[in-house]
């Protein structure tokens, strides 16, 4: 916020207004009391700054994350897509929702329960049944999609659910767009049509998950 103040954020958003076009006619300007102008580059940056406050609160709260080696991991966050890793699910879910509720009262941020999913890693059917009854989220059965990566209950299924599809798409690209090309030219020709359609970060995320 200090940097934004130095570059004149107050001037850019002093008494902002918006225009609405209806039937090809400009209506009277209306004042903006919250948010940013449509298409403003500040919008995602301000959102990320505010959401990082929530992420910090989750990391510091007494919510039990999962242990990976010597490190405790609690969440992954890309824009407004958040995945939280927790143990003691019933108790931790209550703490998490209370925390988000308090945060939402300040900034107006709300969790969409209908779109949220819980993904259980347990072989205890009794425990799973109890969890399903006591948490407000829909429980996914065998897999859940985070961004473009499909996370599965079994690590061995990651390849078939993700990489096999990627291989099929790449073969289609090769067969459909490359003719009599070899070596580096073939690799370059593949990169041009394919990678703009498939985020490299999704593959990296999947590798980290394994």
Structural element, H or E, at residue 206: helix 200-209
**Same domain assignment for residues 66 and 136:** yes
Supply the pLDDT for residue 47.
Answer: 83
Q: What is the pLDDT of residues 141-159, one digit of tens each?
A: 778 887 778 888 777 888 8
**Same domain assignment for residues 150 and 118:** no
**Same domain assignment for residues 192 and 178:** yes
According to the per-residue pLDDT averaged within each range, which of 8-12, 52-56, 85-89 is highest? Answer: 52-56
Supply the pLDDT for residue 176.
Answer: 61
Query: Does pLDDT of 208 surpass 60?
Result: no
**Same domain assignment for residues 71 and 135:** yes
Q: Which domain holds residue 107?
A: 41-141
Strands, E assignment, the chain: 17-18, 21-22, 25-26, 30-31, 66-68, 71-73, 75-78, 81-84, 117-119, 138-140, 143-146, 149-152
**Same domain assignment for residues 114 and 148:** no
Residue 108 located in a structural domain = yes
Query: Does pLDDT of 66 surpass 80?
Result: yes
CA-CA-CA-CA torsion for 165, 171, 176, 181, nearest 10 degrees? 150
Query: Does pLDDT of 203 surpass 50?
Result: no
CB count in 10 Å sphere of residue 46: 16
CB-CB contact of 42 with 5 (8 Å): no
Q: What is the mean pLDDT of the chain?
A: 75
Our count of domains for the chain comes to 2
């Amino acid at each position: 916020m200090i940097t934004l103040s130095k570059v004149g954020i107050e001037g850019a958003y002093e008494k902002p207004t918006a225009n609405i076009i209806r039937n090809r006619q400009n209506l009277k300007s209306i004042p903006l009391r919250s948010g940013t102008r449509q298409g403003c580059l500040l919008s995602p940056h301000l959102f990320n700054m505010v959401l990082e406050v929530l992420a910090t609160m989750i990391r510091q709260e007494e919510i039990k994350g999962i242990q990976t080696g010597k490190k405790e991991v609690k969440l992954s966050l890309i824009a407004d897509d958040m995945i939280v890793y927790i143990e003691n699910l019933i108790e931790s879910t209550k703490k998490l929702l209370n925390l988000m509720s308090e945060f939402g009262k300040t900034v107006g941020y709300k969790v969409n329960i209908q779109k949220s999913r819980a993904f259980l890693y347990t072989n205890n059917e009794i425990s799973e049944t109890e969890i399903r009854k006591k948490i407000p989220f829909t429980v996914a059965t065998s897999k859940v999609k985070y961004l473009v990566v499909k996370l599965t209950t079994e690590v061995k299924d990651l390849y078939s659910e993700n990489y096999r599809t990627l291989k099929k798409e790449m073969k289609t690209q090769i067969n459909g767009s490359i003719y009599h090309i070899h070596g580096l030219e073939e690799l370059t020709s593949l990169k041009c049509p394919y990678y703009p359609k498939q985020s490299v970060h999704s593959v990296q995320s999947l590798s980290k998950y394994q």
